[in-house]
Amino acid sequence: MKIRMFIFLLMGLGCLMGLTAALTWFWPHSADYFYNRGSELLADSDNDERWLSKLDLIRAQSAFDHAIELNPRFTAAYENRAAVRNLNGDLKGALADYNRAIELNPLNGSSYKGRAGIKSISGDVNGALADYARAVELNPSDRSIYMARARILETRGDVIGAVMARARMFEMMPQMNSQMDTNRDFFMRRDPGRWRGRMGIRYDRVLELNTNFTWGYYHRGVARSSQNDLDGALADLRRCQELPDNGFKDYAAIQIWLVQARSGKGTEADQELAAYLNTRANGAANDWPSQIARYLLNQISETNLFAAISPSESEWQQSQFWYYTGMKQLIAGDKAKAIDCFQKSLNTKTRPYAVYVSARNELAALQADTNADQNQNP
C-alpha cells in the first residue's frame, strides 16, 4: 500500500513538473512576453549611461513585431515600435504605427503626443500642433506636451502663442507647489537686476510685438507685483484697464487693490475698487469677480465668498478663493494663515495662471522668511 502511494506521488510530481515545463515552453511565445522584452531594451534609450546599439534596436523592433503578430490589437506594442522606428530614422513607419495605435484607442493621449513628435520632425507643423492639442485634452497633466507645443510655436515665431502655451501648462498642472525648485529662473525672488527670468523676457517681447495685448499686460503686472515692483505692476494693470478687451478688467481692478493695500495705501485701495464696482460695465452684479472685490472690501465674509463658488467652476474658483484669502491674511500680518491658504490654492487641480504664479511666489517667499527667522533664533 505504501509502495503504491509512493508511486502515485512520484507520478503526480512528474505530471506537475511536466506541466511546469510546458508552461515555461509556451509562455515566452506570448505577446506580453515579447512586448516586455522590447520594452526593456527601449527603456535603456533613456539611460544616460547606456545608448541603444543598432543590434539593440533590431532586437527591440523584432520583439514588438512578434508581439503584434500574436496580438494585432496590442496598442502599446504599436506605440513602442513607433518609438523604435523613430530611433532608427524610419519616420514613415513610426507614423504608420502611431496611426494604428490611435485607430485602436483614440482616447490614448500618449499616441497623439508621439505622433505629434513625428509630424514635427517631418515638417508637418500644423498636424503636430493639432495632435498636441488633442493630447492635452486627453492628458492635461503631462507637462512635456505643453513644452513641446511652446517650442514649436517659438520656432514659428509665434511668441505670444508660446507664452500662452506655457501659461496653460501651469494652470493645468496639479500640485506644482511640491516642486519648488522647478523653473527656478521663472520664480526668482528679489532679483535687483531683473524682475523675472526667461519668462519676463518673453513677456517684454510679447508686448513689444503687440502693444495692445491685454493678457500680457495683466500677467506681467501680476508678476511684477509679486516681485515688489509695485510701480511697474500698477503701470501694467492700469494699461490693461485702458484697453477695450473686457476679459481682464475686473481682475486688474482686484490686483490694483492688492498692490495699493500692500503699499500701505488701504484707504485709496478701497476707494478705487469700490468706485470700479459701482461703474463696471461688464459682468453680472453678483458674479464671481464682484464677490472677490466685495470680500476684499469687507462687504462680505470669507464664508460668503466660499459659498459663492460655482459648482461648475469649483476647482478654478477655489484656487482663487484660497489665494485671495491668503493675500488678505498676509496684508493683515498673519503669515502662518497666509502660508496655509497659498498651499491650499496650489493644491487645487486647476487654477488661473496669475493665481498660480502669485501663490507660488508668495509661498516661496514666506517659507524663505520663516527659515531665516528660525536660523536667527534657533
Per-residue model confidence as pLDDT tens digits over 310-368: 988 888 899 999 999 999 999 999 999 999 999 999 998 888 888 988 898 888 888 88
Q: How far is CA 71 from CA 12, 62, 68, 77, in A?
A: 35, 14, 5, 9
- Both 197 and 225 in one domain: the answer is yes
Q: Interior CA angle at 125 toward 84 and 214, to 5°?
A: 130
Band of residue 275 on the pLDDT scale cut at 50, 70, 90: very high
- Both 183 and 284 in one domain: the answer is yes
- Both 198 and 337 in one domain: the answer is yes
pLDDT score for 369: 75
Q: Can you read off the three cell numbers belonging to residue 344?
A: 491650499
Percentage of the chain beyond pLDDT 90 is 44
Band of residue 373 on the pLDDT scale cut at 50, 70, 90: low
Average pLDDT value for residue range 139-160: 85
In a domain, 66, yes or no: yes
Would you say residue 119 has pLDDT above 80? yes
pLDDT score for 327: 95
- Both 138 and 223 in one domain: the answer is no
Is pLDDT larger for residue 376 or for residue 312?
A: 312
In a domain, 373, yes or no: no
Average pLDDT value for residue range 1-19: 48
Q: Are 81 and 65 in contact (CB under 8 A)?
A: yes
- Both 45 and 160 in one domain: the answer is yes
- Both 291 and 246 in one domain: the answer is yes
Residue 177 is classified by DSSP as G
User: What range defines the domain where residue 292 resides?
Assistant: 178-365
Cα separation, 99 vs 85, in Å, equals 14
Which phi and psi angles does 123 have, rounded to 5°?
95, 0
Least confident window among 103-117, 186-200, 297-311? 186-200
* Mean of all residue pLDDT scores within the chain: 82
Domain termination residue (choose one: 152, 176, 200)? 176
- Both 150 and 287 in one domain: the answer is no
In a domain, 4, yes or no: no
CATH number at residue 159: 1.25.40.10
- For cell 461703474, name the residue: 279
In a domain, 213, yes or no: yes
Band of residue 307 on the pLDDT scale cut at 50, 70, 90: very high
Q: How far is CA 31 from CA 161, 165, 350, in A?
A: 43, 39, 39
In a domain, 322, yes or no: yes
pLDDT score for 23: 42
Band of residue 203 on the pLDDT scale cut at 50, 70, 90: confident
Band of residue 44 on the pLDDT scale cut at 50, 70, 90: low
Would you say residue 303 has pLDDT above 80? yes
In a domain, 107, yes or no: yes
Q: Are 211 and 237 in contact (CB under 8 A)?
A: no
Average pLDDT value for residue range 137-161: 85
Band of residue 167 on the pLDDT scale cut at 50, 70, 90: confident
Domain termination residue (choose one: 176, 204, 237)? 176
Domains held by the chain: number: 2
Domain termination residue (choose one: 176, 208, 237)? 176
Band of residue 378 on the pLDDT scale cut at 50, 70, 90: low
- Both 330 and 358 in one domain: the answer is yes
pTM: 0.68
- Both 268 and 129 in one domain: the answer is no
Average pLDDT value for residue range 166-185: 55
pLDDT score for 296: 96
- Both 162 and 202 in one domain: the answer is no
- Both 199 and 296 in one domain: the answer is yes
pLDDT score for 198: 59
Would you say residue 1 has pLDDT above 70? no
- Both 195 and 319 in one domain: the answer is yes
Is pLDDT larger for residue 200 or for residue 102?
A: 102
Neighbours of 172 (CB within 10 A): 21
- Please tell me which of 36-50, 149-163, 193-207, 330-344 the model is most confident about, judged by mean pLDDT: 330-344
Would you say residue 229 has pLDDT above 50? yes
**E strand residue ranges, 166-287:** none
Cα separation, 378 vs 356, in Å, equals 32
